[in-house]
């Protein structure tokens, strides 16, 4: 980066900092989702949609995306500066993640001119919410075995089957969809195709799924002779698996190009420290317990290592022995950390860990209980932690395939 | 809610990257594993010619100030060397000499610095005699005493884990002088050989000695700056942990490579054993731990001299690095033995070398649990 650009970025960072200092909204009187996967109620949805639009209009989302499609036309460093300002002021998440983080970069990379013109701006201003149709009731980790059928009829494809764990299914206007166009293909992967599909057409029905927390957050999506335009096909028929894999690279942050912001509120170990200070055992703060202290330090080291890994990934001389290692492991590391630290938070609450959301005596209104149970959405979704270990083992360490 | 402070950050210096490349090539060439095993059997424990070459390359002077004949860089640039030495298990008096130099830089008298540092920078070995039978990691828990004498001081006590003492030209000895810690920079030639005994170590690539001091008379000029003794001990403690973390991190990388190689070639039940998730997943966990270890190491290396240790940032970064490196290599090597099956139980399998290395490095200057206890005090 030359000095002139560097100066521009610094100026932009200053403006962003000032903007988020003033505009970051106060916490509403309802619980905000901690992650994009937890948008369950209309009031949560409306709050986050309005917030995303406001950030976009101020120029702090999609800053590095091309101007002609609605982006800011600036550099990634500009967007990173804006995202850093969001973090600094603990701003609410950018909830349209599937559009901003997965579909958007994919469309910009391999979509047609028409796709880019049609979809990019709506992703950024939250006009168009996106969802993802990958998993099926019988095919979760074994994604390559997806069976939803897409049959070409003239200018349309006719869809039959069902998708599950559709985050934002209820709110979405579009879906990135993995479907089987060829039953006779030589292997399961070769029969798959990738679509940008509308959601609001006859024959597509979403049914809310109740999560382990008791909340609603995603849907099962049923396709019954649903007709979608054929121009939503990405690439050509039979190339779906490769495109789905590229999408998962964005999803797991193993590939860049996302619009910016963050979709998960990270737990800061210092918040847990506060819990340990307040909780008592034998009349003394739990924080005096050496076992608890060691665990807390473990979480701090983990959080620090995660941050430093991201820094080291940008320094080729310090990662050239295995450049893909850090990107491949970040999903596993982050999601397992979130699950563990939320779980640990429960153990710092004494009898009160028996309460739940809705109980007035609950610690932090049951925030940690909800956080722990919801954390599984990330350790399971997007490829379970067990699948992640297979991927890291096979791609970073070249271990023999498990299948 | 306060945000977590950045405990050090990763940065790189050009010299550091150069050192990394040069050290890697050197160590790979000089220290194939059969040579490591051959050196384990020798009395000295290392190849004197290789040590001489390292001296000629100027590696002992990297962190020595220019005014004393060094390169004038810092431990930031020394860390990659220690990492590669650990990776290829190339044992030399490098760490003990580097630490002795650090002790002199921080707490040596002007005359000691001008006399000894240029010679160290030139490749002459030195070492530290700090540990004692109490086995305490707190370096100020010293039972050895120094009594003032007309001609200087008389040192009495027993020092342990004096690394590579037989190769050293100077030994920095800690002792209590009038109830306070003091450091003495003593010429090795002053020490009677009868009072030196080689210790049997879990890590057979290393050499350490017990040194018995029986009213040993040392000159007044051997006393280092008295008011800097505590600061110097703290500095040595942190520098030693930085180098140890580097050695562990490098070793962890080799250990994982070694395990992976076996998982990719050994077949059971008609399949390569690396295809079984029971072996694959813990190996990945070890790899993830190693990657974290490397990030924390480079933050510690970068923070060590660019940030004020007094505010705790450098100290936090170093302790995190050592704690993580101990955890990572201990786990990687423990699983390496197990995953090699029957062969893993033999002396011929290199997994034992890695496991023994991890045990030894944890034993010196504090293990993961000790450092986490310290971190709790610093962070909470």
C-alpha span between B326 and B249 (Å, rounded): 8
CA A402 to chain B, closest CA, distance in angstroms equals 4
Separation of first and last alpha carbons in chain A:
45
Answer yes or no: do A19 and A72 share one domain.
Answer: yes
> Which of A270, A315, A399 has the CB atom closest to B263's CB atom?
A399
Higher pLDDT, B186 or B8: B186
- Of B226, B245, B269, the one marking the end of a domain is B226
Range of the domain at A68: 3-124
pLDDT of residue A12: 96
Q: Which residues of A have a catalytic role annotated?
A: 251
> Does residue B177 fall inside a structural domain?
yes
B179 and B271 fall within a common domain:
no
Residue A15 domain-assigned? yes
C-alpha pair distances (Å), A173 with each of A131, A132, A232, A335, A366: 8, 11, 13, 28, 32
- Look at residues A302, A367, A312 and name the one whose alpha carbon lies nearest to residue A332: A302
Domain presence at residue B2: no
- Residues of chain A in contact with residue B20, where contact means CB-CB under 8 angstroms, are 317
Which residues share a beta bridge with B198? B209
The answer to whether residues B327 and B374 belong to one domain is: yes
Cβ of B280 and A386 within 8 Å? no
End-of-domain residue from the set B207, B226, B245 = B226
Examine the fold and report which residue of A72, A99, A124 is the final residue of a domain before the chain moves on.
A124
pTM of the model: 0.90
| CATH number of the domain to which B235 belongs | 1.20.140.10
Same domain, A309 and A370: yes
pLDDT tens digit string along B108-146?
999 999 999 999 999 999 999 999 999 999 999 999 999
Q: Which residues contact A309 (CB under 8 A, 6 or more apart)?
A: A326, A329, A330, A333, B291, B292, B295
Question: Of B79, B102, B124, which closes a domain?
Answer: B124
Final residue in a domain of this structure, among A94, A124, A154: A124
Domain count of the fold of chain B: 3
> Is residue A256 in some structural domain?
no
The CA distance from B68 to B119, in Å, is: 9
Q: For the domain that residue B194 is a member of, what is the CATH number?
A: 2.40.110.10
Q: Which of B192, B180, B187, B169 is nearest to B144 (CA)?
A: B180
Subunit contact B283:A296, Cβ cutoff 8 A:
no
Are residues B136 and B192 both part of a single domain?
yes
Residues A287 and A387 in one domain: yes
pLDDT digits (tens, 9 = 90+) for B230-244: 999 999 999 999 999
In terms of domains, do B94 and B141 share one? no
B6, part of any domain = no
Per-residue confidence (pLDDT) for residue B6, from 0 to 100: 54
Strand B126-129 relative to strand B145-149: parallel, antiparallel, unpaired? unpaired
Q: Indicate the helix (H) or strand (E) that contains B251.
A: helix B229-265
CATH number at residue A114: 1.10.540.10
> How far B25 CA sits from the closest chain A CA (Å)?
14
- With respect to residue B324, please indicate whether it lies within any of the assigned structural domains: yes
B115 with B163, same domain? no
B280 with A399: Cβ contact below 8 A:
yes
Tell whether A155 and A113 lie within a shared domain. no
Within a domain: B85: yes
Same domain, residue pair A295 and A279: yes
* A178 inside domain: yes
Asked whether residue A363 is domain-assigned, the answer is yes
Nearest residue to A348 via CA among A331, A367, A335: A367
The helix or strand, by DSSP H or E, that contains position A221, with its residue range, turns out to be strand A216-229
CATH number at residue A154: 2.40.110.10
- B291/A329 touch (CB, cutoff 8 Å), yes or no: yes
- Could you tell me if residue B167 is inside a domain? yes
Q: A4 at the B interface (CB within 8 A)?
A: no
Domain that holds residue B292: 229-379
Residues B68 and B203 in one domain: no
Q: Is residue A114 part of a domain?
A: yes
Indicate if the pLDDT at residue B309 is higher than 60.
no
The residue-averaged pLDDT of B176-183 equals 97
Q: What is the pLDDT of residues B63-102, one digit of tens each?
A: 999 999 999 999 999 999 999 999 999 999 999 999 999 9
Is A165 in the same domain as A187?
Answer: yes
Neighboring chain A residues of B292 at a CB cutoff of 8 Å: 301-302, 305-306, 308-309, 333
- What lies within 8 Å, CB to CB, of A368 at 6+ separation is A275, A342, A345, A346, A349
Q: pLDDT tens digits, residue range A324-365?
A: 899 899 999 999 999 999 999 999 999 999 999 999 999 999
Q: Domain count of chain A?
A: 3
Nearest to B4 among A268, A315, A333 (CB): A268
Question: How far is it, in rounded angstroms, from Cα A224 to Cα A209?
Answer: 19
Q: Taking Cα atoms as reference points, which of B59, B30, B23 lies closest to residue B47?
A: B30
Can you list the positions of beta strands (E) in B116-265?
A: 126-129, 145-149, 152-163, 170-177, 180-187, 196-198, 208-219
Would residue B8 count as lying in a domain? no
> Residue A295's domain is classified under what CATH number?
1.20.140.10
Smallest CA–CA distance, residue A11 to chain B, in Å, is 23
Q: Would you tell me which residues 192-251 of chain A have a C-beta closer than 8 angstroms to some C-beta of chain B?
A: none
């Amino acid at each position: 980066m030359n000095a002139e650009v560097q100066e521009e970025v610094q100026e932009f960072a200053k403006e962003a900092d000032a903007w988020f200092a003033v505009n970051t909204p106060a916490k509403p009187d309802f619980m905000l989702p901690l992650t994009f996967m937890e948008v369950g109620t209309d009031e949560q949805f409306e709050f986050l949609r309005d917030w995303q639009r406001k950030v976009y209009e101020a120029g702090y989302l999609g800053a590095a995306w091309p101007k002609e499609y609605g982006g800011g036309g600036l550099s990634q460093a500009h967007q990173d500066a804006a995202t850093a300002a969001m973090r600094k002021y603990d701003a609410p998440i950018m909830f349209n993640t599937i559009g901003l983080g997965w579909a958007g970069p994919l469309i910009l990379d391999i979509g047609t001119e028409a796709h880019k013109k049609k979809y990019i701006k709506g992703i950024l201003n939250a006009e168009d919410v996106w969802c993802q149709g990958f998993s099926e009731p019988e095919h979760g980790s074994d994604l390559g075995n997806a069976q939803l059928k897409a049959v070409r009829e003239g200018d349309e494809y006719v869809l039959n089957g069902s998708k599950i764990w559709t985050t934002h299914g209820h709110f979405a206007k579009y879906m990135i969809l993995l479907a089987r166009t060829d039953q006779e293909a030589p292997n399961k992967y070769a029969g798959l195709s990738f679509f940008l599909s509308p959601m609001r057409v006859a024959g597509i029905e979403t049914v809310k799924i109740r999560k382990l927390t008791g909340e609603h957050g995603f849907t099962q999506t049923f396709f019954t002779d649903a007709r979608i335009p054929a121009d939503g096909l990405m690439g050509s028929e039979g190339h779906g698996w490769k495109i789905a894999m590229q999408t998962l690279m964005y999803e797991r942050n193993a590939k860049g190009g996302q619009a910016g912001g963050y979709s998960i509120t990270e737990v800061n170990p210092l918040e847990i420290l506060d819990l340990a200070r307040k909780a008592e055992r034998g009349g003394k703060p739990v924080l005096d317990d050496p076992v608890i202290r060691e665990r807390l330090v473990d979480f701090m080291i983990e959080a620090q290592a995660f941050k430093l890994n991201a820094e080291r990934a940008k320094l080729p001389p310090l990662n050239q022995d295995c450049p893909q290692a850090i990107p491949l492991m970040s999903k596993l590391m982050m999601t397992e950390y979130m699950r563990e630290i939320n779980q640990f938070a429960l153990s710092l609450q004494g009898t009160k860990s028996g309460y739940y959301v809705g109980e007035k005596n609950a610690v932090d209104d049951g925030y940690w209980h909800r956080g722990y149970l919801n954390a599984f959405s990330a350790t399971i979704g997007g490829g379970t932690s067990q699948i992640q270990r297979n991927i890291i083992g096979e791609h970073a360490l070249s271990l023999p395939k498990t299948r | 809610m306060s945000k977590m402070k950045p405990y050090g950050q990763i940065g790189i210096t050009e010299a550091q990257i150069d050192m990394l490349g040069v050290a890697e090539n050197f160590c790979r060439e000089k220290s194939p594993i059969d040579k490591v095993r051959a050196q384990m059997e020798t009395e000295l424990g290392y190849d004197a010619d290789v040590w001489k070459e390292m001296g000629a390359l100027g590696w002992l002077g990297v962190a020595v100030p220019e005014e004393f004949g060094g390169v004038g860089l810092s431990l930031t640039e020394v860390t990659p060397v220690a990492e590669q030495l650990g990776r290829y298990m190339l044992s030399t008096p490098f760490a003990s000499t580097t630490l002795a130099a650090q002790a002199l830089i921080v707490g040596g008298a002007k005359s000691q610095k001008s006399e000894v540092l240029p010679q160290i920078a030139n490749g002459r070995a030195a070492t530290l005699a700090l540990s004692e039978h109490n086995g305490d990691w707190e370096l100020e828990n010293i039972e050895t005493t120094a009594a003032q004498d007309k001609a200087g001081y008389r040192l009495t006590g027993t020092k342990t884990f004096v690394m590579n003492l037989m190769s050293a030209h100077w030994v920095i000895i800690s002792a209590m002088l009038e109830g306070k810690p003091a450091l003495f920079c003593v010429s090795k030639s002053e020490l009677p050989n009868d009072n030196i005994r080689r210790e049997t170590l879990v890590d057979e690539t290393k050499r350490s000695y017990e040194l018995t001091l029986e009213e040993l008379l040392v000159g007044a000029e051997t006393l280092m700056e008295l008011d800097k003794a505590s600061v110097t001990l703290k500095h040595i403690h942190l520098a030693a942990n930085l180098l140890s973390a580097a050695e562990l991190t490098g070793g962890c990388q080799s250990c994982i490579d070694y395990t992976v190689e076996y998982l990719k070639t050994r077949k059971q039940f008609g399949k390569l054993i690396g295809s079984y998730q029971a072996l694959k997943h813990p190996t990945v966990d070890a790899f993830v731990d190693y990657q974290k270890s490397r990030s924390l190491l480079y933050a510690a290396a970068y923070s060590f001299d660019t940030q004020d240790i007094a505010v705790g940032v450098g100290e936090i970064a170093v302790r995190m690095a050592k704690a993580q490196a101990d955890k990572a290599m201990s786990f990687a090597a423990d699983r390496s033995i197990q995953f090699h099956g029957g062969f893993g139980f033999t002396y011929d399998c290199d997994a034992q070398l890695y496991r023994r290395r991890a045990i030894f490095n944890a034993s010196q200057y504090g293990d993961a649990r000790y450092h986490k206890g310290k971190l709790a005090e610093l962070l909470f």
